[in-house]
Amino acid sequence: MPQLPLPPWLRVKLPGGGQYYAVRERLGAQGLHTVCEEARCPNLAQCWGGGTATFMILGKVCTRGCRFCDVTSGRPPLPPDPGEPARVADAAAAMQLRHVVVTSVDRDELADQGSGHFVAVVAALKQRLPLAVVELLTPDFQGDPAALAAVATSGAEVLAHNLETVASLTEKLRDRRCSYALSLDVLRAYRAADPVLLVKSSLMLGLGESTDEVLQALGDLREAGVDWVTLGQYLRPTRKHLPVERFVPPEEFDALAEQARALGFALVHAGPLVRSSYRAGEQGAAELIAQRRGRVCDLTAS
């Protein structure tokens, strides 16, 4: 299939500006990875220019090989770095972040699939930045109840796991160890852990899905207890990856956002350049978390 020409609404500025270079230098000095770089995010210039980044822990080699993702696939060469949690916290403190997003590669070879490392990172962040909102974008941990429970009780305020696509395209896009049903089960486990937590997921569009399938996926996410959803355009990282079937125009994203809100999502962000952690600190999460904490306190007091 020939590569589709990029529409004007997907053209972004090249990296530049003092803050961009400051973030790049700080992350490099700490030996930290970001999903911004590894996944070739189109928003990198804007986010780094604004002083934010999404930390990617547990190395940069993923044990899975999804056909939409540009992160290196293979067997990770090294065990988790015990010094990484402190370095993430140091970088987040230096950047004065109020909303810290942490994600990772899959580490299926580890006994706990890396969940313990997530917990250590949250502990380090909470020690250095006790008032910051911590958002974890996690793998499925093979659905292991102990791993999911450890992450759910780590102290993070936002727990995210991406459904990525509609049911009919899951096998085409994702590694065989991933599944639509498993991702929904992960989200249900996070929702059941704590009523105050924000549970978040994301869908990519433009891969051949129908509008009805997107609405079905949104309904499945609501049934699983997700209250924050993001919708964005799939962009082909390289010619080795699946091609874009269609560039979804901004007005279709707007219409889907309205339908998602009608389904009951508390937070909805949709647009061609939206990604699961795009400008997460600006999307109303802190306010919603404060409201939920207040309701829980009121119930306890009564």
Q: How confident is the model at residue 38 (pLDDT cuts 50, 70, 90)?
A: very low
Q: How confident is the model at residue 21 (pLDDT cuts 50, 70, 90)?
A: low
Distance between CA atoms of 177 and 35, rounded to whole angstroms?
Answer: 21
Q: How confident is the model at residue 178 (pLDDT cuts 50, 70, 90)?
A: very high
Distance between CA atoms of 217 and 223, rounded to whole angstroms?
Answer: 10
DSSP annotation of 115:
H
**Is 251 or 290 the better-scoring residue by pLDDT?**
251
The string of pLDDT tens digits covering residues 132-160 is 889 999 999 999 999 999 999 999 999 99
**Is 38 or 249 the better-scoring residue by pLDDT?**
249
The string of pLDDT tens digits covering residues 227-265 is 999 999 998 888 888 999 999 999 999 999 999 999 999
The confidence score (pLDDT) of residue 174 equals 95
Angle between helices 250-263 and 211-223 (to 10 degrees): 30
Amino acid at 179: S
The confidence score (pLDDT) of residue 276 equals 76
Taking 90 as the threshold, does the pLDDT of residue 298 lie above it?
Answer: no
Q: What is the pTM of this model?
A: 0.87
Q: How confident is the model at residue 302 (pLDDT cuts 50, 70, 90)?
A: very low
**Is 56 or 143 the better-scoring residue by pLDDT?**
143
Q: How confident is the model at residue 51 (pLDDT cuts 50, 70, 90)?
A: very low
Name the burial class of residue 78, with classes exposed (0-12), middle (13-18) and buried (19+) by CB atoms within 10 angstroms of its CB.
exposed
Name the burial class of residue 254, with classes exposed (0-12), middle (13-18) and buried (19+) by CB atoms within 10 angstroms of its CB.
exposed
Taking 70 as the threshold, does the pLDDT of residue 16 lie above it?
Answer: no
The string of pLDDT tens digits covering residues 100-131 is 899 999 999 999 999 999 999 999 999 999 98
Domains of the chain: 12-301 (3.20.20.70)
Taking 70 as the threshold, does the pLDDT of residue 27 lie above it?
Answer: no
- Cα 3 to chain centroid, rounded: 27
Taking 60 as the threshold, does the pLDDT of residue 50 lie above it?
Answer: no
